[in-house]
Amino acid sequence: MNLQQVIAELDLKPFTANQDYAGIEPSCGYASDLLSCVMAGAAKKSLWVTLQAHGNIIAVATLLELSAIIITEGAIPDPSTIEKANQEGVILLGTTRPSFYVTGKLWELGLRCQPD
């Protein structure tokens, strides 16, 4: 499943500049609001579901080379965070739904993976 399909199915709103979403295939998913847990647990090219929207999520996504961050519960990153994301090529997607719903929906869509 590519990111284009994820965005359409979950009705996500991109905060960052458009990219070739159809060419991005997330490897796996990870849900947590604790950055160190994400650092430890998220595989490369994962989709990260979180309600954190501050600038440090970009550093995490860059270091881990995540496919995209889905920011839940209607949290909105500030302009400097969006700017940093665009500089680093990190994709930020927003939804008003809670993390539980988004994670469940991703699982239902077939994004299942076992931690290695």
Partner 1 sequence: MAKDSLFQGKLVSEQEAEHITRVEELSYELKVEEVMASNPFTVTPETTMSEVLELFRQKRISGAPVLSGEELVGIISMEDLIKCLQNSDLQSTVRTYMSTRLLTIRNTDPSIEALKLFVNSHFGRLPVVNEDGKLVGILTKGDITSGILKALQHDYQEEEVRRYRASHLFEDIESDRSSLILRYTIKQGDFTRGGAASSAIKRALIRLGANPQIARRTGIAVYEAEMNLIIHTTNGGIIRVEIEPKQISITVSDDGPGIEDVSLAMRPGFSTASDSVRELGFGAGMGLVNIQRCVDSMRLESVYGRGTNLRLKIFLQEQEIVGEGK
Residue numbers of the site for partner 1 (CB under 8 A)? 16-18, 33-37, 39-40, 44, 50, 52, 54-60, 62-65, 79-80, 82-83, 86, 88
Q: Which is nearer to partner 1, 1 or 17 (CB)?
A: 17
Strands, E assignment, 1-116: 13-14, 28-31, 46-50, 68-71, 92-94
Cβ at position 111, least distance to partner 1 in Å = 22
Contacts of 13 (CB under 8 A, 6+ apart): 93, 94, 95
Neighbours of 90 (CB within 10 A): 23
Q: Which is nearer to partner 1, 4 or 56 (CB)?
A: 56
Cβ at position 52, least distance to partner 1 in Å = 5
